[in-house]
Structure 1
């Protein structure tokens, strides 16, 4: 089972994710987020990650300068609010594995997924946030997992949105996802990761 612990911003919580067997660790590059990292901190954390664990950078409609500065620290570029054309251009320019988030509230939202074929390497089905929300994710919202039932996924995919140590096993069983992504579900406050919750989440997902 692949597990991404996202929004890590301290050495201690990063080490907890690594010790628990996370396959991916996420670093946020989006100033409005309480999990946003400056480049010095990001570089220090990225240097602690062993080669077998993927370093994922999370971006919201980023400009080229931000991407170019962050890319050397990363294995994967995760894009929110990006069109297929923009995602494809980033993938071609940086030569990195690229994921695109698909915000889901209704079954119709999944219609956006096929448009990313040839543009990205993986889709991330995340809960759609309100139109006036400051953040596109990391708010503890979840969508109805039954919307994925019978859906023909056009690309490898991951499940995100509202996951926590208590519901992740059920989410995996119901959706048959191969990769789960958590951020606020392993926090004690916005942007403050909880090492015990990280450990519990990883154990539950891998069970």
Structure 2
């Protein structure tokens, strides 16, 4: 089954709704420039409202060591996600599994990023825009994705309308959604979250039925 990460969860109510919709992971954004950014107190309320078997992921963009440590002192995150130009040495120092995001900018050297971050728990492929590190609502050409041996996550402009096509085309082990399940920037919509997860499960069902033929 394709795992689902709902990123940019900003409140306990949103966390409860995401878990009820069937999310496998919840993303909390610690990037001050984002409309989905949370404080440590807000993040803690989200974590406390998240079901025990749902992974909590903290997203950072080129933070300082002290910034990450300050969050970890207050928030018992299960996993970290680095969405900037962080080195492997930087990512590996926090005693947490980590996801390394790769923005699919023109000419990006994907093999070099994979080779540098050999200890990453997973890689996340996201659309690129020069003025934002992620969460843009843009898609990218999925045929650019490399053949992956490591676990990976597809992000970038996914919605209930296109995630089935993405799963059929590139079979990602996991998908990440943020703006695609919002009623406005930073505000998750419970109906859209359910529709997204339902679309993922329906795509999984079709894929397994096709494989059985």
CA distance in structure 2 between the aligned counterparts of 1:108 and 1:32, rounded to whole angstroms = 24
Deviations 1:9-48 (A, max 9, x none): 1222211110111110000001110000011111111111
Within 5 A, what are the aligned runs for 1:14-163? Answer: 14-71=15-72, 72-83=75-86, 86-91=87-92, 93-106=93-106, 108-130=108-130, 133=131, 135-148=132-145, 151-163=146-158
- 17 and 173 in structure 1: CA distance in 2 versus 1, 3 angstrom threshold: same
Aligned partner (choices 173, 183, 189) of residue 184 of structure 2: 189
1:172 aligns with 2:167: yes
RMSD across aligned positions (CA): 1.6
Number of aligned residues: 199
Shift of 1:161: 0.3
Shift of 1:109: 4.3
User: Which residue of structure 1 lines up, in the alignment, with residue 207 of structure 2?
Assistant: none
Shift of 1:146: 1.3
**Secondary structure of the structure 2 residue equivalent to 1:198:** helix
**Secondary structure of the structure 2 residue equivalent to 1:88:** helix
Report the more deviating stretch, 9-18 or 52-61.
Answer: 9-18
Normalized against structure 1, the TM-score is what? 0.90
CA distance in structure 2 between the aligned counterparts of 1:81 and 1:102, rounded to whole angstroms = 8
Unaligned runs of 5+ in 2: 203-213
CA distance in structure 2 between the aligned counterparts of 1:82 and 1:51, rounded to whole angstroms = 31
CA distance in structure 2 between the aligned counterparts of 1:76 and 1:82, rounded to whole angstroms = 18
Report the more deviating stretch, 102-111 or 179-188.
Answer: 102-111
Deviations 1:122-142 (A, max 9, x none): 110000112xx1x31111011
Is the contact made by 2:137 and 2:179 (CA closer than 8 Å) also made in structure 1? yes
